[in-house]
Amino acid sequence: MDAHLITKIIHMSAVSLLILVFVARAATLFIDVKNQQPNSNARKSLVGMQHLSLTLIIVTGATLLFMNNFDVKPWFYAKVILFFVLWSSLIKTYKNDDTILLVQRRAGLLIGSVALIGILGLVMIKPVFA
């Protein structure tokens, strides 16, 4: 296998890990919630896996971009913007702050879900703008 294919496999594996962690962390907002805070069971491991997956996505994405000589499709920019929306919503949703209400956390989760679905949709559809 060549380096490009291996990098793509690592990139997509990191995306799969992010989806699993996203769902697992989302469950903490609905199961055994106390004092407007997400369930803290397994918090450190979920945060660690989330950081690992996001770091791998960024590093392998930048590597793939370099390997492709920065030749990108127009929908690439939308994907990057949606990635930052996802990242920001995850930060705000799981911020360790007692003043953030559970309803606000769930709204942040909804925004993150829409961004993640948008990214996956762009990757699968690969729209052509004429």
29 assigned to some structural domain: yes
Report the number of distinct structural domains present in the chain. Answer: 1
38 assigned to some structural domain: yes
Task: Show the low-confidence residues of the chain (pLDDT under 50).
Answer: none
**Residue 130 pLDDT:** 66
User: Which pTM value belongs to this model?
Assistant: 0.89
Is the CB of residue 57 less than 8 Å from the CB of residue 11? yes
C-alpha span between 127 and 34 (Å, rounded): 43
* DSSP secondary structure string for all residues of 55-70: HHHHHHHHHHHHHTTT
Tens of pLDDT, residues 18-50: 999 999 999 988 888 877 778 777 888 999 999
C-alpha span between 105 and 122 (Å, rounded): 26
130 assigned to some structural domain: no
C-alpha span between 62 and 40 (Å, rounded): 33
| Tokens 């990139």 belong to residue | 11
40 assigned to some structural domain: yes
Is the CB of residue 109 less than 8 Å from the CB of residue 26? yes
C-alpha span between 71 and 54 (Å, rounded): 23
95 assigned to some structural domain: yes
| Tokens 């997400």 belong to residue | 38
Q: Domain of residue 116: give its range.
A: 3-125
